[in-house]
Amino acid sequence: MLEFDGLYKAYGDNQVLEGVSFTVAPGQMFGFCGSNGAGKTTTMRIAMGLARADAGEVRWLGRPVDEAVRRRIGYMPEERGLYPKMKVGEQLTYFARLHGLDAAPAARAAETWAERLGLGERRGDRVEKLSLGNQQRVQLAAALVSEPDVLILDEPFSGLDPVGVDSLAEALLEQCRRGVPVVFSSHQLDLVERLCDAVGILARGKIVASGTVGELRSGAAGRQLRVVAPDAPPGWAAAVPGVRVVSEQRADVVLELGPGTDDQQVLAAALSTGRVTHFAWREPTLVELFRGAVTDTREVAA
Amino acid sequence: MTTTEIRPHTPAQLVRLVAGREISTRIRDKGFLIGSGVLILLILGMLVFQVAVNSGGESTKLGVVGGSAAVTDALTAQGEALDTDVSVVDYDDEAAARRAVQDGDVDAALLSPSAAQPELLVEKSGGSAETIAQGAVQGMAVDQQLADAGVQLQSPPRVDVVALDPDADADLEAAVVALVGVVVLYSLLILFGQFVAQGVVEEKSSRVVELLLATMRPWQLLAGKILGLGLLGLAQMLVIAVVGVAGALAFDVVELPGRLIGTVLTVVAWFVLGYAFYASVFAAAASLVSRQEDLASVITPASVLLVVGFVISIQAAQEPTGTLSTVTSFIPGLSPLVMPVRQAAGGAEWWEVVLAVVLMLVAIAAIVRVGGRIYAGALLRTGGKVKLRDAMRAERA
C-alpha cells in the first residue's frame, strides 16, 4: 500500500494542504484530480522529498518513504526536466544508474525502454533536438527505466496528442498489471475516468472525494433517470408521486426520484402513455462529480 | 530484469556517478577541448619564445682576403668580447669577396688585414661586423708594434668572480616559472569555475534537478559535480605541467631542472586548493539564479577576487618581498595565486606557507558548509533570483 497520511503544508500564510490522506493499492491506477492550485503537485513533491510536509507522512509498505524507497519510485515532475545536451540513450542509462542499476543492466534497460516508447532511432540524439512529444516520451522512459516499484507522475498526459496518450496509457496499464501502484494527476477527467480504478479529488487542501468511480457515483447525491416517451402528454412525469422533474424537453425528461420511490412505478407510468424509447439511469460523468465535489467545499468554505 | 540487479547506492557511489557524468559530458564538450588546446599551445608558444630569446646571441659571418690563422683568432676573440659568434670565410681575391658581400653570403669582407691600410667591404656601414673588424685589426696592430719594440707579453691576470647572491638568477628563473604556472592556474580556475557555475544553472533551468534530487541529496550532487570537474581540471593542469616541464628540459630553457619541477608541483598543489575554494563559491552563487543570462551577475564578485589575485601575483613576481604580496599571500582566495610566486622567488618562509595553507583550508571548510547550505536552499527555487538570506534559511522548504 502506498499511503498518504494527513499531509499538511503551508507556504507562508498560504495553507496549501490541510490533511491530505489517501491510499493506493499495488496494481491500482489512482487518478489525482483537483482544480489548479489545489495542491496536487505539492502532495507529489512531498512524496518525492522535494518539499517537506509540516505534518503527516507518506508510507510505502508501511515504511515511511525515505531516500532508499524513493530510489524505487519512478517520478515525472510537472516541470519536465532532462539534460538538454545529453543524448537520449546516455540520459536514460544515467537515470537508471541513479536508481541503483549497475552499468550493464542500466544500458540494457535504457535500450529496452527507448525501443518500447518508440524512441529507438532517436537514442543517439540530444534531447534538445527532439520534438516536445518525444521529449515527453523520454521523460516517461526516465521514470520507467529502473523498473520502479511505485510510479508518481505529475500531469503525464499534458501536451500529448491522442496517439501519444494511448501509448502512454498502455504503458501505465502494463505497469499496473505488474503490480505497481500508479498515481497520476490530470485535468483530463475523461481520461482519468477511462483509466483509473480509483480517483481522489483534491479541493482546498483536502481530499473531498475518493474511491472507485462507481463508489463516487453511488455516493453522489440525486441520481437521475432519463425517460423518453414520445407519445406522452406534457407534465405526465410530474404526476407520479415522489418524482421531481429536473428538465423536460418535449418527450425527453430527466427525473430525480425521492427516497423510496420505485423506478418501476415510473416506467409503468411512462408505458401507460404509449411507447417508451429510452429508459435509463443517467450515470454522472466524473466531470459532474468533480464539479459537485469542488463546489460543495466552496460552499462550506464560504 | 530482476530486482536483484538493483542495489541501493551508498553516498559515495552517487557522488561517483555524478562525477562520472560531469567528466564524460565535459570531455566531449567543444568549449573544453578548444580551451585545453589553446592553453597547451600557449605553453608551447612561451617555450618557443624562450628558446628564440636565449639563442639570441648574434652571429656574424666575415669574409677575409689575405688572412691567416692569427687574423681568424683575433676576429673570433673580438666577437666573443661582443657576445657574437664570428665565423670566418677565406676568399682568394677582392672580387670574390665583393660578390659574397653583395650576395649576402657574408656580412662584411676584410681585405688585407695585416697590411698598413686594411679595408672592410660592407653593404652599408654600421653593424657589429664593423666593430669586430676594427677591434681585431687594432689589436693585431698593437701586438705587432709591441713585438717589434721587443716587449714580451704576459697573459694578464684573470679576475675571480665572487657572487654574493648565487641564487639570485635561479630565484628569478623560478619566479618566472611560477608566474607562467599562475597564468595557467588562473586560466583553469576561471574555466572550471565557469563550468561548475554553468552546470549548476543548466540543471536548474532545465529542471532536471527535481529528478536528481528525488534520488540524492543536494550535497551529493554538489560534491559529484565539483569533484568530477576538479579531477578533469587537475588532469588538464598535469598535462600542461608535463608538457611544459618536458618542453623546458628538451629545449634546455632552464638552468635548474630540480627547482623547475618543485615549482610546478607547488603550483599544482595550489591549484587544488584554489579550485576547491572557487568551485564552491561559484556553485553556491550559480544556484541562486535559474537562467544562464543571470549567471554573470552572481559570479562577478568571485571572478573579481580571482582577477585581483592574478594582478597581485604578477606584481609579486617583480617584488616578492613587498608588503602587498606578503599580506595577500595569506588571504584565502588570493593565496593560491600569490603564494606560489613568493615561494618560487624564495621570499616565503616554510611557516608562512603552512599558515597560508591552513587559512585556505579553514576558508574552504567554511565555504563548503555555507555554500552547500545556500545551494541546497536555492536549488529547488526556480523563477527569479533567490535572495541569499532566503536560501540560507530554507533548505527544502
Whether residue B5 has pLDDT greater than 70:
no
Q: Which of A13, A17, A67 is the mutation pick for testing B, counting most B CBs within 10 A?
A: A67
Give the residue carrying C-alpha cell 527569479. Answer: B384
HEC secondary structure over chain B: CCHHHECCCCHHHHHHHHHHHHHHHHCCCHHHHHHHHHHHHHHHHHHHHHHHHHCCCEEEEEEEECCCHHHHHHHHHHHHHCCEEEEEEEECCHHHHHHHHHHCCCCEEEECCCCCCCEEEECCCCCHHHHHHHHHHHHHHHHHHHHHCCCCCCCCCCCCCCCCCCCHHHHHHHHHHHHHHHHHHHHHHHHHHHHHHHHHHHHHHCCHHHHHHCCCCHHHHHHHHHHHHHHHHHHHHHHHHHHHHHHHHHCCCCCCHHHHHHHHHHHHHHHHHHHHHHHHHHHHHHCCCCCHHHHHHHHHHHHHHHHHHHHHHHHHHHCCCCHHHHHHCCCCCCHHHHHHHHHHCCCCCHHHHHHHHHHHHHHHHHHHHHHHHHHHHHCCCCCCCCCHHHHHHCCCC
Set of chain A residues whose Cβ sits within 8 Å of the Cβ of B6: 72, 99-101, 146-147
The verdict on a CB contact (< 8 Å) between A82 and B216 is: no
Q: How confident is the model at residue A217 (pLDDT cuts 50, 70, 90)?
A: confident
Final residue belonging to a domain, choices B148, B183, B218: B148
The beta-carbon neighbor of B206 closest among A75, A83, A99 is: A83
Mark whether B231 and B371 lie in a shared domain: yes
Q: What is the pLDDT of residue B8?
A: 65
Q: What is the pLDDT of residue B7?
A: 63
Q: What is the pLDDT of residue B319?
A: 82
Q: What is the mean pLDDT of residues A59-81?
A: 89
User: Is B25's Cβ below 8 Å from some Cβ in A?
Assistant: yes
Q: How confident is the model at residue A288 (pLDDT cuts 50, 70, 90)?
A: confident
Mark whether B203 and B333 lie in a shared domain: yes
Set of chain A residues whose Cβ sits within 8 Å of the Cβ of B12: none
**Can you identify the CATH homologous superfamily of domain A2-217?**
P-loop containing nucleotide triphosphate hydrolases (3.40.50.300)
Q: What is the mean pLDDT of residues B366-392?
A: 82
Instruction: Judge contact between A188 and A160, C-beta under 8 A.
Output: no
Whether residue B4 has pLDDT greater than 60:
no
Fold of A221-283: Alpha-Beta Plaits (3.30.70)
Q: CA torsion A26→A29→A35→A39, rounded to 10°? A: 20
Q: What is the pLDDT of residue A259?
A: 78
Mean pLDDT, rounded, of chain B:
84
Distances (CA, A) of B94 to A297, B61, B147: 119, 16, 29
Q: What is the pLDDT of residue B152?
A: 72
Mark whether B174 and B241 lie in a shared domain: yes
Q: How confident is the model at residue B151 (pLDDT cuts 50, 70, 90)?
A: confident
Q: Which of residues 66-125 of B touch A (CB under 8 A)?
A: none
CATH value at residue B75: 3.40.190.10
Mark whether B32 and B71 lie in a shared domain: no
Q: Residue ranges per domain, chain A?
A: 2-217, 221-283
Q: What is the pLDDT of residues A42-53, one digit of tens each?
A: 999 999 988 889
The verdict on a CB contact (< 8 Å) between B6 and A83 is: no
Q: How confident is the model at residue A220 (pLDDT cuts 50, 70, 90)?
A: low
Q: What is the pLDDT of residue B3?
A: 43
How many Å lie between the alpha carbon of A295 and the closest alpha carbon of chain B?
30
Q: What is the mean pLDDT of residues B23-33?
A: 87
- β-strand partners of B182: none
Q: What is the pLDDT of residues B188-204, one digit of tens each?
A: 999 999 999 999 999 98
Q: What is the mean pLDDT of residues B159-172?
A: 70
Q: What is the mean pLDDT of residues A129-158?
A: 91
Mean pLDDT, rounded, of chain A:
87
Residue B139 domain boundaries: 59-148
Q: What is the pLDDT of residue A301?
A: 39
The beta-carbon neighbor of A82 closest among B3, B17, B206 is: B206
The verdict on a CB contact (< 8 Å) between A77 and B206 is: no
User: Is B16's Cβ below 8 Å from some Cβ in A?
Assistant: no
Provide the ipTM: 0.78
Q: What is the pLDDT of residues B331-348, one digit of tens each?
A: 999 999 999 988 888 778
Range of lowest pLDDT (A152-156, B72-76, B298-302, B305-309): B72-76
Whether residue A298 has pLDDT greater than 60:
no
The beta-carbon neighbor of A82 closest among B25, B208, B396 is: B208
Establish if B7 belongs to a structural domain.
no
Mark whether B229 and B321 lie in a shared domain: yes
A58 vs B97, more confident? A58
Establish if B54 belongs to a structural domain.
no
Q: What is the mean pLDDT of residues B279-306?
A: 91
